[in-house]
Amino acid sequence: MADPGARILGEVADMDDIRLGIGVDHDCVTIGAHCFTAAQMEDVAQLLVAAVWQAGQQKGAMDHETAEADRRRRNVVITACAEPGCGDGCHG
């Protein structure tokens, strides 16, 4: 019979669809093959919150940079050279 004090509560998948089990082992929290005390998990929780906040901030900055690059690309007007005998916009 399985030990009711040690069980996986759920799983999450990362960006590569690799599954990571989160559970309990009596008085410890398990993440994958690692076992943490409640006090250690408080540190992990604080670090996770900080990492999530920073990732969100960085994503916002990256989204802004992408939007700016897209805007600049849309505003570029490509014109062919109008001088007689000139082909394919050789003058810019």
In angstroms, the CA 23 to CA 29 distance is: 6
Q: Which residue has the tokens 């599954």?
A: 19
State if pTM tops 0.75.
Answer: no
Query: Could you tell me if 30 and 46 lie in one domain?
Result: no
In angstroms, the CA 42 to CA 44 distance is: 5
| Residue 64: pLDDT over 50 | yes
Residue 81 pLDDT level (bands cut at 50, 70, 90)? low
Give mean pLDDT, residues 65-87: 70
Residue 87 covered by a domain: no
Domain with 10 in it: 1-36
pLDDT digits (tens, 9 = 90+) for 4-22: 899 999 999 999 999 999 9
Residue 11 covered by a domain: yes
Q: Report which of residues 87 and 57 the model is more confident about.
A: 57
Residue 81 covered by a domain: no
In angstroms, the CA 35 to CA 57 distance is: 30
| pLDDT computed for residue 65 by the predictor | 79
Residue 5 covered by a domain: yes
Query: Could you tell me if 31 and 2 lie in one domain?
Result: yes
| Count of structural domains within the chain | 2
Query: Cα 63 from chain centroid?
Result: 12
